[in-house]
Amino acid sequence: MTSYAYRKFKDRLFFILSLGCVIVAVLPLMSILIEVIARGAPRLSIQFITQPAGVIGQSAGGIGPAIQGTLILIGLTSLIGIPLGVMSGIYLAEYGNNKYADTMRMFNNVLTEFPSIVVGITVSVVVVLALGHYSPFAGAIALAFILIPIVARTTEESLKLVPNSVREASLALGAHRWRTTISVVLPTAKAGLVTGTLLAVARIAGETAPLIMTILGNQYFFQGFNQPMDALPLRIWRDALQPYSNFQAQGWGAALVLILIVLSLNIGVRVASRGQIRK
């Protein structure tokens, strides 16, 4: 039997080690935030966020098209993905007490962890090849692929938190199931629903891999729904690979804008929903 002092020492040592783990994990986050702000902030200006990209060798210009593209993508994806995701979630939570729904739930969980590049090549084969051109539409479908399972899952989880007595009260008043779901269950679960959906949107806003083979990226502002389009993550990727320092700086500026969009969505939602939902 080892002595009490030794056991006590091991206990302290382990406390320090696990605290060390936290510090090691937070270090990259801090470094990323500091570098992105330090290298990106000097680039920020009205021109930078509104002008199209410049010519190689001269000025790098701005990232206006990329910001516009990302906003279009977020909008289109939400339009496609949120209704489908919410309805899937409603089905799973309200009518999902059967074998079929269990299978779907499993597929849904698996799809949440799908490699996003695989989604990209699938949509490339199914949509881009079929239509014959890269398009914002294809990009939005690819992102919706990623958005739907997340939204479905959070919808299901927040609907399940609604007490059954609320449903029963509505049914007892003679309301139909659909009326109960729309007028009673959904409003009750609203806070969790909105939080989960916005977090999912924040996640897809930074998604890059599926965009490479769906919207392709270009230098110009929105050209139409049958033309390639730029997006912030794509612009960052392309700029980072350029050997010109002003393009690399532009990449950092774009990274700052992207991280501002993503983190403000993320932190804002969490702060706003604090205390309203569990956890």
Partner 1 sequence: MAAIPEDKNYDHFTPISGQGSALTAYNLFTGSLPVLQRFGTYFFIGTQWNPVPTQLNPVIFGALPYLLGTLVTSGIALLIGVPLSLGIAIFLVEMAPRALRVPISYLVELLAAVPSVIYGLWGVFVFRFWISDYIEKPLSTYFGWFPAFSGTPLGLDVLTAGIILAIMIIPTVSSVSREVIQAVPNSIREGAYSIGATKWEVIRNWVLGYGRSGIFGAVILGLGRAIGETMAVTMVIGNATGPAAIPTSLFKPGQTMSSLIANGFLEATPGSLEYSAFLGVGLLLLLLGLSINVIAQVMVTRVLKVKGGAVE
Give 92-161 as a DSSP string.
Answer: HHHS--SHHHHHHHHHHHHHHT--HHHHHHHHIIIIIHHHTS--HHHHHHHHHHHHHHHHHHHHHHHHHT
Amino acid in position 49: I
Using DSSP, state whether 229 is helix, strand or coil: strand
With binding defined as CB under 8 A, does residue 21 bind partner 1? yes
Q: Least distance in Å: CB of 123 to partner 1?
A: 9
Of 241, 244, 272, 276, which one interacts with partner 1 (CB under 8 A)? 241
71 near partner 1, rule: CB under 8 A = no
Task: Indicate which single residue of 218, 263, 273, 277 sits in contact with partner 1 (rule: CB under 8 A).
Answer: 263
Candidates 41-49, 53-61, 145-153, 188-196; binding stretch for partner 1 (CB under 8 A): 145-153
- Give the residue among 214, 267, 259 at the shortest CA–CA distance from 236: 259
Determine the interface stretch with partner 1 among 42-50, 54-62, 71-79, 100-108 (rule: CB under 8 A).
100-108
Using CB under 8 A, which residues numbered 203 to 222 contact partner 1?
A: 203, 205-209, 212-213, 216
CB of 66 to partner 1, least distance (A): 12
Determine the residue type at 241: L
Q: Is the dihedral of CA 253, 255, 257, 263 positive or negative?
A: negative
Binder among 1, 97, 165, 174 for partner 1 (CB under 8 A)? 97
Q: Which of 1, 3, 5, 25 binds partner 1 (CB under 8 A)?
A: 25
Please tell me whether residue 41 binds partner 1 under the rule CB under 8 A: no
Binding of partner 1 by 102 (CB under 8 A):
no
- CB closer to partner 1 out of 30 and 56: 30
Residues with Cβ within 8 Å of 91's Cβ and at least 6 positions away in sequence, in order, are 101, 104
Q: Please spell the DSSP secondary structure of 252-271, one letter per residue.
A: HHHHHHHHHHHHHHHHHHHH
The reply on whether position 18 binds partner 1 by CB under 8 A is yes
Cα separation, 167 vs 90, whole angstroms? 13
Can you name the residues that pair with 24 across neighbouring β-strands?
none
Should residue 66 be labelled a site residue for partner 1 when binding is judged by CB under 8 A? no
Rule CB under 8 A: is residue 262 a binding residue for partner 1?
yes
CB of 90 vs partner 1, minimal distance in Å: 6
From the list 63, 67, 73, 93, which residue makes contact with partner 1 (rule: CB under 8 A)?
93
The answer to whether 243 and 88 have CB atoms below 8 angstroms apart is no
26 is a contact residue toward partner 1 (CB under 8 A): yes
